[in-house]
Amino acid sequence: MLQHIIDRFIKYVSIDTQSDPNNPAFPSTEKQWTLAKLLEKELKFIGLTDVNLDENCYLTATLPSNISYKVPTIGFVAHIDTSPDFSAAHVNPQVHKNYDGKAIVLNADDPIILDPKEFKELINYKGQTLITTDGNSLLGADDKAGITEIVTAMEFLLTHPEIKHGILKICFTPDEEVGKGAHKFDVKSFNADWAYTMDGSELGELEFENFNAASGLVEIKGKIVHPGYAKGIMINAMTIATQFITALPANEVPEQTDDYQGFYHLYGMKGSVEKASLQYIIRDHDRQKFEARKLHFSATADALNKKLGNNLIATTIKDQYFNMREKVEPVMHIVDIAKEAMIQAGIKPNIKAIRGGTDGAQLSYMGLPCPNIFAGGHNFHGRYEYVPAESIQKATEVIINIAQITAKKFEH
């Protein structure tokens, strides 16, 4: 199965599906259709039913039950798109069989090196098959590893009817990386009792908590005049922008926080003397702290406006998603089933909070409880991304085990 998984994964990641946060269209990039249409044909070929690629690039399919009694319908979800943060063009995966535990030269020209001295978890995969980038793009294991796992698990169950399972539903979504992956997801039509996103990172991750998330836009108005005659007249919007940046807590940023600590993340800025803008994301696991962060963000602008004696700064805050824990805790048996599935596959479950979000967060609030399971990759969204092929294989086993365990638990 391992070589089959490697071949399938490489086929998927070789297709550029990068999404675009600045395009309101759905999906945000036409190239996501390329992989969606390939997957549509593949799902029909392996024998799934009700295969449907809708007008918004959501691909759904069903694996019918092979038992005579009714059990809960389980969904498995992954996303087609890759991050807009780093190039996804000309992905050229490199396969390193029987990894020796030493540094891997991704690109000798720059040089770009994947070194266990920096990325310490690499040593855990000594002897395994690593799939890396060539240093010029991201890899796309987020979330094409998840797609590979779901397709491979469905294919395996179809060819092994002795493994008993109820109805299984799958959905591949567009635009998860730009926060829109669940926006047009038809939960009612999907008709699952619960689901799992295969969108986590390293082997064993199981997550039912995530950040509360919002975007924050800061727009600053300046006034431009000739610099030789600017005294008392010019207002430099870029200078004011730096004042806003430094007014936020300097240690509450991604590079200085971990675990349950929230942050303000400045990820985009542009400007001139006359106009400047700052793009932030605001994150916290605790809902009260999250609301306080949003208030502090706006209050920072208000305080600067008061200091400047003019309303030059405007902020816009938009909620993106909330912590799924509130929706999953009442149905914790779905987390317990995933834990049992991992243990059966010889994996130690690593239950942790996501320092990010998945489609599952939004789906949970839409009525489809949806914890997140590891997809196996590391260092997402950049040139150092890699995935052990064996982790993809293990995640595939977890999906199969979930189906089997659920059928047995609800047997009557």
The one catalytic residue in 16, 20, 42, 81 is: 81
**Exposure on the CB side of residue 73, measured as CA atoms within 13 A:** 17
pTM summary value: 0.87
Q: Is there a catalytic annotation at residue 176?
A: yes
User: Which one-letter DSSP state was computed for residue 378?
Assistant: B
Summarize the confidence of residues 384-399 as an average pLDDT.
Answer: 98
Q: Which residue has the higher pLDDT, 98 or 179?
A: 98
Question: 334 pLDDT band (50/70/90 cuts)?
Answer: very high
Residue 110: pLDDT over 90: no
Question: 355 pLDDT band (50/70/90 cuts)?
Answer: confident
Please choose, from the candidates 379, 398, 376, 399, the residue with its C-alpha nearest in 3D space to the C-alpha of residue 144: 376
Q: Which two tokens stand for residue 70?
A: 């009714």
Residue 357: pLDDT over 80: no
Is 196 in contact with 190 (CB distance < 8 Å)? no
Residue 197: pLDDT over 80: yes
Which residues are CB-neighbours of 243 under 8 A, at least 6 positions away? Answer: 304
Amino acid 359: pLDDT: 86
Buried/exposed 62-82: b ≥16 CB within 10 Å, e otherwise: bbebbeeeebbbbbbbbbbbb
Amino acid 216: pLDDT: 97
Summarize the confidence of residues 168-186 as an average pLDDT.
Answer: 94
Tell me the average pLDDT of the chain.
95
Q: Count other C-beta atoms under 10 Å from residue 162's C-beta.
A: 5
Instruction: Give DSSP secondary structure letters for 147-197.
Output: HHHHHHHHHHHHH-TTS----EEEEEES-GGGT-TTTT--HHHH--SEEEE
Burial class (CB in 10 A: 0-12, 13-18, 19+), 204: buried
Question: 331 pLDDT band (50/70/90 cuts)?
Answer: very high
Which residues are CB-neighbours of 129 under 8 A, at least 6 positions away? Answer: 2, 6, 95, 96, 97, 98, 99, 388, 389, 390
Length of the chain: 412
Integer Cα distance of 192 and 369 in angstroms: 9
Summarize the confidence of residues 337-350 as an average pLDDT.
Answer: 97
Amino acid 410: pLDDT: 86
State pLDDT tens for residues 131-166. Answer: 999 999 999 999 999 999 999 999 999 999 999 999
Amino acid 391: pLDDT: 98
For the chain, list the domains and their CATH numbers. Answer: 2-210+323-409 (3.40.630.10), 213-321 (3.30.70.360)
Integer Cα distance of 295 and 248 in angstroms: 12
Amino acid 412: pLDDT: 72
Residue 109: pLDDT over 90: no
State pLDDT tens for residues 270-305. Answer: 999 999 999 999 999 999 999 999 999 999 999 999
Integer Cα distance of 150 and 63 in angstroms: 11
The one catalytic residue in 176, 207, 252, 284 is: 176
Please choose, from the candidates 81, 110, 113, 80, the residue with its C-alpha nearest in 3D space to the C-alpha of residue 94: 113
